[in-house]
Structures are given as structure tokens and as C-alpha cells.
């Protein structure tokens, strides 16, 4: 039976709006305004999960995003499921389902709980130490370790939600809408700064909004009353935008922040559809005001992790804000006054507070007196030495603390309780501050890290800046706003604050127990089950750096990044190693502050927008004709066109034969095209290509090879001279963008004196490459009035012509060794041109071929493909292309490097042809080449770069790079494969039509 622990209606809970939800399959009720955590607590459910390593039962510890324990699976089994969600952040809605993680078969009975009893065998570094040997067993270990690793389950079907990104620019960004954030935003906006105020919660006001403490007054009102009035006044302010449910995840340099705005997570399923679920805000702020507040610290004592043990401040929030009592027999354990506020809050609502255990010797503040008057028993100088209760806290045992705080004395007192509020002081939330690159300093008096050296236009105000009392907060905020925003007056000038807050505190990082250390479980990192014992062990084993201890013990490495326990870890290390806190530094706080969904990170870049691709104007035809496609850079290129169920090999053999025997057609639109104009265009080409360009006649084409400055082949292609000062350059498909970038670089930085203009026209033209002995007849049919005689239109020349009304540029150039034409038309006519060619070629059985056949045909001719036969280490000399390197030109890019001692070595890898002794064996591309078989280790001479079965030669052919290959013509080499050694002979890389007779066939 569940108890109802609602205590008093709160204005933030709408009791007229009852909501039912399921947790671990059981239906519960809560109200509009509840979080999953507050609704579960109202139903007396504390046990919500199992810990990662020992499977210990764990309950809700906090009321905010710092929650380490209550991480649950939302909507399990659906396509909207999400693991590792903090129950303290989930706003409930009708139909919400949630379940515990890391337990089987259930959170109540978890088989893995046996780990808890085996825990002496799981010290820090257990996995590192245990699964070391034998090394060959790792694969077997891994299988089991993988099964126990990880929390929660990722969804298995695709995410139905929409995610978005938005750029936001503002003068002032205020992070956190507690009292400091609200006052900062209000004053910034009133002084004409375009201001954005964000808060991760759905309500403004932070913890002050439920601060009904009678001892603090602002302008004679309670802080909550006063702040509500301030919030009301925000509505009418121009220049101010407020975003709630918006968590800043990352704070990068230059005041660039990423925030996740939650838009539909709090809505019922039917209201979620077709709406943006989460939006990533990319914020550029001129100034950032951090008002991120402070997180309450727990205390580290033996068995401090049982369900029912919570932060004292969380108990207060559940009582004041949600109207929920977390227990019926409450005890507080504290080192400062804030637990007394929580105790009074419960007392005022008629909830039973059994006792307060205070490690201080005394406190005389008004609030302590008030608690005494209420008759609540206070145990001064006492500490908790143990707790009982497996799935719910049952009792605490306390003992007197010695004067130095390192041991306990006297007799043990046991106090029965079902809820323990722990108050260990406050830690400023400096996570975002340090992410920005700014530096912290340890304050020895307050025992906290505080902002010290700002690296960007930023201030930290309120408790994240080290001010914990309302009067200090307002006074310092006022001064910081005036200095930073350069304003004279604020409406904070005349605020009257009366407070009675006491900051006295006794800080002990690790509280002693009557049991020896080895027999205790004082948890420092709840989520990763790291105890003080583990940290001490790491130090004994020689770890000194905080970053190493962190990784070895996994302290602070959970999804909460140790928001609660990191300070204690540092404190325990400092105490044990005998150094001062400040000298250790801190661990690094990394983005995101709270986890982000993958959806938020990728935004709209999903599905076909994940990686954009480019299609040619002829693409539809290829699709209609069942082409298979391959990715070349961003392009989708037709790879081959199988008919009647052909395999790739069969299709390519057929296409290759047809192209040589009659006619073939290739979509070459993807080749990079750069329009080059200017009075120095010829000189420019002379400098970027290895061969000479000055004498190229107008209307002629020339093949060019481009090197890097290091002498290695970078790109190649045919360039055509269209006019006196006008060229069109083609580049490889994949290299187009880089070549343009490189040419622009040289023009702008090295040769600004040259009058040359470059324009990328790759997308402006569609190109059909018509090849084969019948290509001329086909072209004649399409353009009857163009004289195609070798005299008028020889190989390596260019003509402008019209196909009907379509203007086209035709180059008679060849990458296959056949008589061929590359016809370029304006891109929008590409498909039309292709169809005309197909129609005219029908009687010649014109065969469309894809990139694979193109590669085969050029390999028969020994033409290289940059990037396949070259790899950034091949010079033109290595490629046996000496003929294209001008000896006369004084300079070109890469020339000097061809005369370096290394590039002139005779034994460099050089491009050769390879023929297999058995003509039916096709070598594997990438296969290694050796000259000796019975030697170990054997020297690798090179590798196969291109390999095909040539249907025209009826044998296998290959191109390869081989050390000293130039002088090996006819030499027998071997290609050793897994099962056999293949005998090969070095040959000329030109296998077909060595005299180039077919170009004019």
C-alpha cells in the first residue's frame, strides 16, 4: 500500500489537474506541476534505481539536474524512449511511462545485487587488474564485460521527433533565473541591452521563489513574495527575452554558448506530434552573466547512499515547492545552518522531524534557536557512523565526534527514521565558467572554488560567484552590474534587506566511522559507485594527479560528471596526500553540463540531409535504366548498368567490349571545370602545370599534370584554350574544390601581379562522353552541319556547335583510347543531350557505361587515375610520365622538388604494368609484390594499384607501383596471397593500342 505524502497545496502544483503515469509498470497519480521525482515521493516511492557497479538500491537524492541516482528510462520500448533521464527533471504528463535501469529482473529484486556482497573483490581498477592475462583471453572477457556495461537502453527504431538549430545573438546573456539572474536580466534590459535570460527549469525564481523563511526580509516582504513581484515586472520589459526549460550545455570561447531548449518533453504524446521537440540554441553573446547558483554538497559517511537519504535542500524544495513530505520520520545531518531551514520548513507543515545531527560544536543563530524552541532534538558534535535499511532507510547510528574530527568516541545512539536530509554546505556551480576557459581559485575559508581570472566578457553573480547571503548577493550584484554594463543607477540601489543568516560551517570531507575504513562504504560518486576507500587505494597505489585518480576510480565520470561528489574527492585526496586543496587544481568540467540527445546535436541534418550528395542532370535517366551508383566525393555516379540480372563483372565486360567495338556513352558531368580568364591566363597555366602552355593554339586541348610544391602529382585533366585570354580547365571529380582552392591561393598570395580570374563552372555544364569507332557517325547524326573530318576537327581540339537550339562545346579528347567526343551543354539540357545521343546511337547499339568500365578502359591504355594509381608520394617521373615535364620552363609548382636527392633516387616506387602468368587470374588491388618467396622477412617491393580482366585483350591486366620497377621490364615477380602465390611479369603499363591508332579510327 502506498502512502500519500502530500502535505499542503503549493501554488506550483495544480491539484485540480490529476495526472496518471506508470513507473515500473505500476500506475501512480500526481498533479500538473510535479516532476516524476516529486510525484513518486508523494507516493512514498524512494527506490528508483540500482547503482552501476554494486547494484545497490538507490533513491532520489536531489531536486534538480545534478541528480546522480534517479536516472531512469523514459517511455521504455517505444520509439521515443530515452535512457539516463533524471527523474528530477521530468515533468509528468498523462500517459508518461518510466522504468528503472541497471536492474534485472526488477528494481525490487535485482540479481546483480550480489555484486554488493562481493564488493570487497571489486576494488578500484578491478577490471584493469583482473582481465590483464592471458592476453589472448580478452575477447572472451570482453563479451561478458560488455553485457554488464552501460546504463539504460537506446531506442531501436528511428526517432519520430523533429529537432532544430537556431543562431541567437544578444548583448547580454543571463544564465540562470534565480534571484541574481532575474535582477541582472531586468537591469540589463532596462538599460537598453538586448538581453536573453535562460533557465533549465520551467519556473523562474530558483530557490528564492519558495524561500518563506521568516528571518529574511527584502523590502519588508519574504524573499519569495518580493521575487514574485520582480518576476511580474519582467513581463513588460522591452529587449528582454526569457527562455525556460533551456539548459546551457556548453560555454565556448568568444562567448559562444550552446543551449538546449526543451519544447515538447512535458507534453502528452498527442501534443508532441509535428512539433519541434528540442532546439539547440547557438548563442553569441557580447556579455555573459552567469547566475548558475550553487549545488548543495552531501556529507561523506558510511553507507550514505540508501534510498531515503537526500540533500537537505531537496527535502525543503519538495516540501515548499511541490507540497510533498519526503518521509514521515525525518532526521537531518549537517555541518552548517541550512539544514535548520529545511527542518523548520517541515516542522511548519506539521511533518515530524526527529533530530538534527550537527558536526559543529554549537551555533547561536536565530534559526537554530527557533529549532530548539520547536523541541527538535539537536546532537552537537555528533556524526553518523552507519545507516541501516536495504531498500529504504531505516535508522541511523550516531557517535560523538572527536575534537580533530578524525575519530568517534562514546556510545552509539540509534535513531529510527525513513528520511535523512544531508547538508554539507554549498558548492558554486562554476562548470560553465571553467568551460569558457576562465580560471578558478580555491577559497580556503569558504572551502569552495570561486571564479578568479575571467578570459571573456563575463561576470559570475550570486552564489555561483561565492555570495551566499541575500544581502551580499544584492550588494555585489549591484556593483558588478554597474561596473560591467557601465551603468550608473540600478533598481537595486534602494533595496532594503534584513537577514539573519549564519555562515558558520565545519568542513570535514570524510567523516569517520567506528568501523575501520576497509569495512565501510562512504560513497563519493554515487552514480559510479566510487567510495572514499577507492580513492585512498588509488593514492596508496601511487596515483598523484587528480585526473589520474579520477580515471582510475571513475569518480566523476558518470552521466552527472560528479556534480555532487567531486569536491569531496578533491578534499579526500588533499587530506590523504597532505597538500592544500588549491594546489591540486580541479578536474576539468566538460560540456555538456547536462546530457544532450543526439537529436539535438544533429538537428535537421538527418536522413538525406545527414551527408549531402550531388546528382548530375542525367541522373533520372540512370535511375530509370537501373544503374548501380557509386559515391565519388559527394557525387552519386553511375557505376554500371546491369541488364537481365547481370553481375557487376558481366555488365562491365559487356560495356567495355561495346565501347571499343561500336559505341559507348559516359556521364562525365562530375568532372571539375574551372573557367580561367585574364591577360595572364597562359602564364598562369605555365606556372601551375608541368608542361608548356604558351603555344597552345586557340581551339586546341592539352592534357596537364599538376603537382604539389613537394613534386608529387596532385591532379590532372584536359584544359582547352577557348580564346586568347580564355581557358577552360577540367579537374578530377574528387579534386575539383581543392584544385580551385589551391589555384586561388597561389593567385592571391604568391602571384597577385597576374591578371587571372577563376570561376568554378562544374555545375554549369553537363557532359556526355561519346566514345568508340562509331562515335563520329552518331555525332554526325546529331549535328549534321559540323565538319567532323580529322582535318577540321582533329584529336585534341575543340568546336562550338548547336544541337538544334542548344549550344554546345565539344572537345575531341579521349580517356579510353578510342575515338571520342566530350559534349558539354548547359546543365539544364543535360538529360536532353543524353537522350539525343542514345536515340542517334541506337542503330550502333550505343551502350551506356559507368565509372567501372571507364576505369577498365583507361587501365587498358595505362592512363593513371590520380588518387588510385597515385597516393601523394608519386612524382611524374615515378609514373613514367617524363614526357609531360617541361625541361625548358624555368619554374612551375613542384619543379624544384623533382631535383631533390630523394625524388631523384633510382629505387623509388615506379608505375609499371603487371601481367599474370595465368591470364585468368585477376590480382587484388592493394596486393603486395615481392621478388623472393623463400625469404623471411621478405622485402615488399610495391603493390597493385589497378586490376581488371580485360575483355578486349582477353586477359587480366594490372597497374602497380614497384620499387625500381622501370628497370624491371620482363622480370618475374610474385604476388603472395593467403592461399597461393601468383606469378606475375613486369610489363609496359600500356596494354592496348600502344601506337594510339584507334584515336583516329
Partner 1 sequence: MFLINCPYCGERDQQEFKAGGEAHIERPKQPTELSDDEWAEYLFMRKNIKGVQFERWNHAHGCRKWFNMVRDTSNDEIKAIYKMGEKPPSQ
Q: Which residues bind partner 1 (CB under 8 A)?
A: 252-254, 256, 284, 437, 455, 709-710, 741, 744-745, 748-750, 752, 890-891, 895-897, 899-901
If the CB atoms of residues 21 and 684 are measured against partner 1, the closer one turns out to be 684
Q: Give kind and range of the element (H or E) at residue 739.
A: helix 736-745
Least Cβ distance, residue 571 to partner 1 (angstroms): 30
Helices (H), 754-902: 775-782, 830-841, 851-861
Strand pairing of 377-380 and 353-358? parallel
The b-or-e profile of 651-675 (16+ CB within 10 A means b, else e) is bbbbbbbbbbbbbbbbbbbbbbbbb
Least Cβ distance, residue 438 to partner 1 (angstroms): 11
387 neighbors 304 (Cβ within 8 angstroms)? yes
- CA nearest to 559, candidates 37, 31, 84: 84
Q: At what angle do helices 830-841 and 775-782 cross, to 10 degrees?
A: 120
If the CB atoms of residues 360 and 895 are measured against partner 1, the closer one turns out to be 895
Phi, psi (rounded to 5 degrees) for 850: -105, -170
Strand pairing of 972-976 and 382-388? unpaired
Rounded Cα distance between 713 and 894, Å, is 9
Report how far apart, in Å, the C-alpha atoms of 740 and of each of 230, 341, 759, 760, 877 are.
59, 69, 8, 7, 25
Rounded Cα distance between 772 and 923, Å, is 27
Least Cβ distance, residue 465 to partner 1 (angstroms): 22
Least Cβ distance, residue 684 to partner 1 (angstroms): 14
Least Cβ distance, residue 456 to partner 1 (angstroms): 10
Least Cβ distance, residue 255 to partner 1 (angstroms): 9
If the CB atoms of residues 250 and 378 are measured against partner 1, the closer one turns out to be 250
If the CB atoms of residues 252 and 966 are measured against partner 1, the closer one turns out to be 252
Least Cβ distance, residue 613 to partner 1 (angstroms): 18
Least Cβ distance, residue 455 to partner 1 (angstroms): 7
Least Cβ distance, residue 595 to partner 1 (angstroms): 21
Least Cβ distance, residue 893 to partner 1 (angstroms): 9
If the CB atoms of residues 133 and 899 are measured against partner 1, the closer one turns out to be 899
If the CB atoms of residues 103 and 740 are measured against partner 1, the closer one turns out to be 740
69 neighbors 61 (Cβ within 8 angstroms)? yes
Write the DSSP assignment of 801-814 as a string of letters.
Answer: EEETTEEEEEEE--
If the CB atoms of residues 164 and 710 are measured against partner 1, the closer one turns out to be 710
If the CB atoms of residues 274 and 749 are measured against partner 1, the closer one turns out to be 749
162 neighbors 275 (Cβ within 8 angstroms)? yes
Q: Please name every residue paired with 252 in a beta bridge, in sequence order, or none if there are none.
A: 256
If the CB atoms of residues 201 and 673 are measured against partner 1, the closer one turns out to be 673
SS3 content of the chain, % helix, strand, coil (to 5): 25, 30, 45
Preceding amide of 316 cis, omega within 30: no
Least Cβ distance, residue 254 to partner 1 (angstroms): 5
If the CB atoms of residues 392 and 742 are measured against partner 1, the closer one turns out to be 742
- CA nearest to 655, candidates 948, 947, 863, 924: 948
**Residue 746 carries which DSSP code?**
I
Least Cβ distance, residue 590 to partner 1 (angstroms): 16
Helices (H), 462-580: 470-485, 532-540, 546-553, 566-577
If the CB atoms of residues 179 and 285 are measured against partner 1, the closer one turns out to be 285
C-alpha cell at 626: 537501373
Q: Please name every residue paired with 973 in a beta bridge, in sequence order, or none if there are none.
A: 984
In sequence order, the 6+-apart residues with CB closer than 8 A to the CB of 302 are 384, 385, 386, 387, 513, 515, 520, 521, 522
If the CB atoms of residues 745 and 800 are measured against partner 1, the closer one turns out to be 745
Phi, psi (rounded to 5 degrees) for 99: -145, 160
Amino acid at each position: 500500500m502506498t502512502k500519500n505524502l502530500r502535505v499542503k497545496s503549493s501554488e506550483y502544483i495544480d491539484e485540480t489537474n490529476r495526472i496518471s503515469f506508470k513507473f515500473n509498470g505500476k500506475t501512480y497519480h500526481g498533479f500538473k506541476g510535479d516532476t516524476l521525482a516529486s510525484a513518486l515521493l508523494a507516493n512514498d516511492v524512494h527506490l528508483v534505481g540500482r547503482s552501476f557497479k554494486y547494484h545497490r538500491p538507490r533513491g532520489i537524492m536531489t531536486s534538480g539536474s545534478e541528480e546522480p541516482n534517479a536516472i531512469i528510462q523514459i517511455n521504455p520500448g517505444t520509439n521515443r524512449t530515452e535512457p539516463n533521464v533524471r527523474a528530477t527533471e521530468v515533468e509528468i504528463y498523462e500517459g508518461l511511462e518510466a522504468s528503472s535501469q541497471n536492474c534485472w529482473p526488477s528494481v525490487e529484486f535485482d540479481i546483480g545485487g550480489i555484486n554488493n556482497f562481493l564488493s570487497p573483490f571489486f576494488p578500484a581498477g578491478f577490471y584493469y587488474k583482473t582481465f590483464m592475462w592471458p592476453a589472448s583471453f580478452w575477447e572472451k572477457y570482453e563479451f561478458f564485460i560488455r553485457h554488464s556495461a552501460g546504463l539504460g537502453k537506446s531506442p531501436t527504431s528511428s526517432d519520430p521527433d523533429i529537432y532544430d538549430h537556431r543562431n541567437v545573438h544578444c548583448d547580454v546573456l543571463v544564465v540562470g533565473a534565480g534571484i541574481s539572474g532575474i535582477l541582472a536580466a531586468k537591469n540589463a534590459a532596462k538599460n537598453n541591452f538586448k538581453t536573453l535570460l535562460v533557465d533549465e527549469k520551467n519556473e523562474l525564481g530558483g530557490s528564492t521563489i519558495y524561500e518563506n523563511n521568516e528571518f529574511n526580509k527584502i523590502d519588508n516582504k519574504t524573499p519569495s513574495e518580493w521575487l514574485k513581484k520582480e518576476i511580474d515586472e519582467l513581463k513588460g520589459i522591452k529587449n528582454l527575452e526569457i527562455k525556460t526549460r533551456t539548459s546551457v550545455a556548453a560555454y565556448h570561447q568568444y562567448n559562444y554558448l550552446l543551449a538546449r531548449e526543451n519544447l515538447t518533453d512535458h507534453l502528452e504524446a498527442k501534443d508532441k506530434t509535428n512539433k519541434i521537440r528540442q532546439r539547440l540554441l547557438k548563442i553569441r553573446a557580447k556579455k555573459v552573466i552567469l547566475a548558475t547558483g550553487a549545488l548543495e554538497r552531501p556529507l561523506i559517511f558510511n553507507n550514505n547512499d540508501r534510498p531515503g537519504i537526500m540533500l537537505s535542500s531537496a527535502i525543503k524544495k519538495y516540501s515548499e515547492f511541490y507540497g510533498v513530505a519526503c518521509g514521515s520520520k525525518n532526521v537531518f545531518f549537517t555541518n552548517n545552518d541550512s539544514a535548520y531551514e529545511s527542518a523548520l520548513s517541515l516542522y511548519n507543515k506539521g511533518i515530524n522531524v526527529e533530530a538534527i545531527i550537527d558536526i559543529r560544536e554549537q551555533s547561536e543563530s536565530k534559526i537554530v534557536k527557533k529549532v530548539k524552541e520547536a523541541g527538535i532534538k539537536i546532537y552537537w558534535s555528533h556524526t553518523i557512523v552507519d545507516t541501516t535499511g536495504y531498500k529504504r532507510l531505516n535508522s541511523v547510528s550516531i557517535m560523538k565526534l572527536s575534537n580533530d574530527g578524525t575519530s568517534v568516541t562514546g556510545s552509539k545512539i540509534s535513531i529510527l527514521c525513513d528520511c535523512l536530509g544531508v547538508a554539507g554546505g554549498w558548492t558554486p556551480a562554476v562548470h560553465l565558467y571553467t568551460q569558457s576557459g576562465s580560471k578558478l581559485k580555491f577559497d580556503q575559508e569558504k572551502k569552495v572554488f570561486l571564479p578568479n581570472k575571467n578570459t571573456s566578457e563575463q561576470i559570475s553573480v550570486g552564489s555561483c560567484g561565492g555570495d551566499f547571503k541575500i544581502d551580499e548577493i544584492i550588494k555585489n550584484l549591484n556593483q558588478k552590474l554597474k561596473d560591467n554594463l557601465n551603468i550608473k543607477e540600478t533598481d537595486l540601489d534602494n533595496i532594503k534587506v534584513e537577514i539573519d543568516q549564519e555562515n558558520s560551517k565545519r568542513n570535514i570531507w570524510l567523516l569517520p566511522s567506528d568501523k575501520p575504513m576497509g569495512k565501510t562504504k562512504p560513497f563519493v560518486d554515487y552514480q559510479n559507485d566510487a567510495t572514499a576507500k577507492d580513492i585512498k587505494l588509488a593514492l596508496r597505489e601511487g596515483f598523484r594527479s587528480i585526473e589520474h585518480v579520477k580515471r582510475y576510480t571513475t569518480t566523476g565520470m558518470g552521466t552527472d560528471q560528479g556534480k555532487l561528489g567531486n569536491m569531496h574527492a578533491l578534499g579526500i585526496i588533499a587530506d590523504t596526500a597532505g597538500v592544500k586543496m588549491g594546489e591540486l587544481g580541479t578536474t576539468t568540467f566538460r560540456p555538456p553540463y547536462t546530457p544532450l540527445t543526439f537529436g539535438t546535436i544533429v538537428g535537421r541534418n538527418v536522413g538525406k540531409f545527414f551527408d549531402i550528395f550531388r546528382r548530375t542532370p542525367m541522373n533520372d535517366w540512370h535511375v530509370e535504366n537501373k544503374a548501380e551508383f557509386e559515391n565519388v566525393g559527394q557525387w552519386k555516379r553511375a557505376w554500371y548498368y546491369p541488364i537481365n540480372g547481370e553481375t557487376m563483372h558481366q555488365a562491365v565486360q559487356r560495356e567495355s567490349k561495346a565501347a571499343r567495338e561500336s559505341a559507348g556513352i559516359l556521364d562525365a558531368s562530375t568532372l571539375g571545370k574551372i573557367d580561367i580568364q585574364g591577360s595572364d591566363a597562359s602564364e598562369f597555366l605555365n606556372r601551375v602545370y608541368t608542361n608548356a602552355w604558351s603555344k597552345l593554339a586557340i581551339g586546341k586541348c592539352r592534357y596537364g599534370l599538376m603537382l604539389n610544391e613537394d613534386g608529387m602529382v596532385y591532379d590532372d585533366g584536359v584544359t582547352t584554350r577557348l580564346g586568347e585570354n580564355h581557358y577552360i580547365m577540367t579537374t578530377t571529380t574528387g579534386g575539383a574544390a581543392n584544385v580551385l582552392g589551391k589555384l586561388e591561393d597561389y593567385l592571391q598570395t604568391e602571384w597577385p601581379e597576374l591578371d587571372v580570374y577563376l570561376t568554378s563552372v562544374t555545375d554549369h555544364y553537363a557532359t556526355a562522353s561519346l566514345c568508340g569507332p562509331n562515335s563520329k557517325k552518331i555525332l554526325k547524326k546529331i549535328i549534321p552541319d559540323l565538319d567532323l573530318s580529322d582535318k577540321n576537327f582533329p584529336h585534341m581540339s575543340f568546336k562550338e556547335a548547336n544541337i538544334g537550339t542548344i549550344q554546345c562545346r565539344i572537345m575531341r579528347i579521349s580517356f579510353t583510347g578510342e575515338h571520342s567526343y566530350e559534349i558539354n551543354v548547359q546543365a539544364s539540357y543535360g538529360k536532353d543531350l543524353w537522350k539525343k545521343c542514345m536515340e542517334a546511337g541506337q542503330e550502333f547499339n550505343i551502350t551506356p557505361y559507368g565509372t567501372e568500365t571507364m576505369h577498365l578502359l583507361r587501365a587498358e591504355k595505362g592512363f593513371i587515375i590520380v588518387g588510385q594509381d597515385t597516393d601523394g608520394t608519386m612524382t611524374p617521373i615515378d609514373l613514367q610520365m617524363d614526357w609531360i615535364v617541361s625541361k625548358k620552363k624555368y619554374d612551375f609548382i613542384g619543379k624544384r622538388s623533382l631535383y631533390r636527392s630523394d625524388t631523384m633516387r633510382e629505387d623509388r616506387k615506379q608505375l609499371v604494368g603487371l601481367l599474370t602468368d595465368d591470364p585468368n587470374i585477376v590480382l587484388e588491388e592493394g596486393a603486395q609484390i615481392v621478388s623472393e618467396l623463400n625469404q623471411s622477412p621478405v622485402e615488399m617491393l610495391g603493390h597493385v594499384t589497378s586490376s581488371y580482366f580485360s575483355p578486349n585483350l582477353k586477359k587480366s591486366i594490372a597497374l602497380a607501383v614497384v620499387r625500381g620497377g622501370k628497370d624491371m621490364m620482363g622480370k618475374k615477380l610474385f604476388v603472395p596471397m593467403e592461399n597461393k602465390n601468383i606469378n606475375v611479369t613486369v610489363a609496359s603499363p600500356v596494354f592496348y593500342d600502344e601506337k594510339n591508332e584507334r584515336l583516329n579510327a
